[in-house]
Amino acid sequence: MAREIGTRCIHLDEEDGKNHYGAVSYPIYQTATFAHPGVGQSTGYDYSRVQNPTREQLEKVVASMENGTDALALSSGMAAIALMMELFSPGDHLIVDADLYGGSIRLFEQISKKNGISFTSIDCCCEEIESRIRENTKAVYIETPTNPMMHVTDIAKMAAAAKRHGLLLIVDNTFLSPYFQNPLDLGADLVVHSGTKYLGGHNDALAGFLVTNQAEISERLRFFYKTTGAVLAPFDSWLILRGIKTLGVRMERAQENAMAIAEWLKGQKIVTDVIYPGLPEHPGHALMKRQARGFGAMLTFRLASKEAALAVLGKVRLIQYAESLGGVETLITYPATQTHADVPKDVREKNGITESTLRMSVGIEDKRDLLAELERVFCELNSDTEKGTKDGGEKS
Ligand SMILES: *Cc1c(COP(=O)(O)O)cnc(C)c1O
């Protein structure tokens, strides 16, 4: 029987058969090339763009956690998504979720389009794909929950629809990590990860992954991979391997903190919306309970005004104002000018990313300190607002 996911973060079911002097931490093979024992012979490793033992170990761990047969480790999440796009040719059409990571939208709009690929954006959580499928449609690309609006798409239902029409279903699983959700089990063909986020977990290395359970897709991707070369370096592979060992405890703790913060934010007068799928009133709550093992630790909230949102960013100290997510540190960001700055304003507003929207990646600090920090920030905010009203409503 396969071991539980929390154990698979730490141990492969099958070790690689090499002893490595009994090393418990997988060694870093910091070498670009490998010598051949003789003419026509190979150790199994020739050149690190194609294979490297440390990277291979990481790829096996990620494949195992996603229940895939192959995982490719790349130098960043965007490198993974750019490589994924090599599966398509000029003239192809993709249906993509309207609310995606800003960098994915930028890649599709500003690079893939130039290469002759066209896109239709829809709200995959709530719209049917059928009427959007064209003769040249090849794939559906989604995130669930989405970034930053936390829409939840039914992966199994979407996979069934894609299959009926011969389309690939590609899921960016960065937000939940394989610890909480496994899209391949629900019928997806390809899973994307920014390993920079929860898998690495320490805001100290960039990485990306493509994971599949189909030999034909894996073979095509492996060819693009060795040919284009955005592979993950041995040392960074080791950092991500090390990060993954604590993925389970980090995800559980971050989720517990996120739930407490979501509940706390709900009690604040100046907060108009709290969007966290762990809250029972979230429209995707029941679906996520069925298709995932957790709700994650990303939450989005809106304040009464743009000024209040910017004031929060100016007042935080323990919580840092920074892009990115999924690390041990709690970070807060302003999607309108940061993660989603390159998304056209009308698209942004249509998706609900207003100028009073903030996104928080909840870390694993002691939640009492996170809540104390928020108490202080909101207390200052409320007294500023009162003062502002007394001074004749002047904005500070
Ligand atoms: C960060 C992120 C990416 C891009 O990954 P990088 O490692 O920053 O290149 C892709 N998708 C999602 C959902 C992300 O959060």
Atom of ligand 1 nearest to the CA of 208: 7
Atom of ligand 1 nearest to the CA of 195: 7
326 Cβ closer than 6 Å to some ligand 1 atom: no
- The torsion region of residue 191 among left (phi > 0), alpha (psi -120 to 50) and beta comes to beta
Residues 6+ apart with CB under 8 A from 263: 279
Burial label, 234 (beta-carbon count in 10 A; 0-12, 13-18, 19+): buried
Q: What is the pLDDT of residue 168?
A: 98
Quote the ligand 1 centre to 339 CA distance (angstroms): 10
21 is catalytic: no
User: 275, 274, 276, 277: which is closest to 291 by C-alpha?
Assistant: 277
CB hemisphere CA count around 99 (13 angstroms): 22
Quote the ligand 1 centre to 193 CA distance (angstroms): 7
Q: Are 306 and 323 in contact, with CB atoms under 8 Å apart? A: no
Q: What is the pLDDT of residue 396?
A: 44
Q: Are 325 and 298 in contact, with CB atoms under 8 Å apart? A: yes
Residue-by-residue pLDDT tens, the chain, 396 positions: 679 999 999 999 887 788 899 999 999 999 999 999 999 999 999 999 999 999 999 999 999 999 999 999 999 999 999 999 999 999 999 999 999 998 999 999 999 999 999 999 999 999 999 999 999 999 999 999 998 899 999 999 999 999 999 999 999 999 999 999 999 999 999 999 999 999 999 999 999 999 999 999 999 999 999 999 999 999 999 999 999 999 999 999 999 999 999 999 999 999 999 999 999 999 999 999 999 999 999 999 999 999 999 999 999 999 999 999 999 999 999 988 887 777 788 888 888 889 999 999 999 999 999 999 999 999 999 888 888 766 554 444
Return the H-helix or E-strand segment holding 272. strand 271-275
Strand partners of residue 231? 74
Q: What is the pLDDT of residue 391?
A: 58
How far the first Cα of the chain sits from its last, in Å, is: 62
273 is catalytic: no
Whole-model pTM?
0.95
194 Cβ closer than 6 Å to some ligand 1 atom: yes
Distance (Å, rounded) from C-alpha 9 to C-alpha 318? 29
209 Cβ closer than 6 Å to some ligand 1 atom: no
Quote the ligand 1 centre to 375 CA distance (angstroms): 31
Strand, coil or helix: 168: strand
Ligand 1, atom 5: closest residue by C-alpha: 77
Ligand 1, atom 1: closest residue by C-alpha: 194
141 Cβ closer than 6 Å to some ligand 1 atom: no
Quote the ligand 1 centre to 44 CA distance (angstroms): 32
45 is catalytic: no
Neighbours of 297 (CB within 10 A): 32
What secondary structure does DSSP assign to 24-82, as a single string? SSPP----SB---SSTT---S--BTTT--HHHHHHHHHHHHHTT-SEEEEESSHHHHHH
Torsion (CA) 30, 68, 293, 208 in degrees, nearest 10: 40
Is the torsion defined by CA of 256, 12, 227, 97 positive or negative?
negative
Token code pair at residue 186? 């629900």
Strand, coil or helix: 19: coil
Q: What is the pLDDT of residue 17?
A: 80
Catalytic site residue from 8, 55, 197, 367: 197
242 is catalytic: no
206 Cβ closer than 6 Å to some ligand 1 atom: yes
77 Cβ closer than 6 Å to some ligand 1 atom: yes
Q: What is the pLDDT of residue 164?
A: 97
99 Cβ closer than 6 Å to some ligand 1 atom: no
143 Cβ closer than 6 Å to some ligand 1 atom: yes
173 Cβ closer than 6 Å to some ligand 1 atom: no
Atom of ligand 1 nearest to the CA of 207: 7
Catalytic site residue from 26, 29, 101, 225: 101
Atom of ligand 1 nearest to the CA of 326: 15
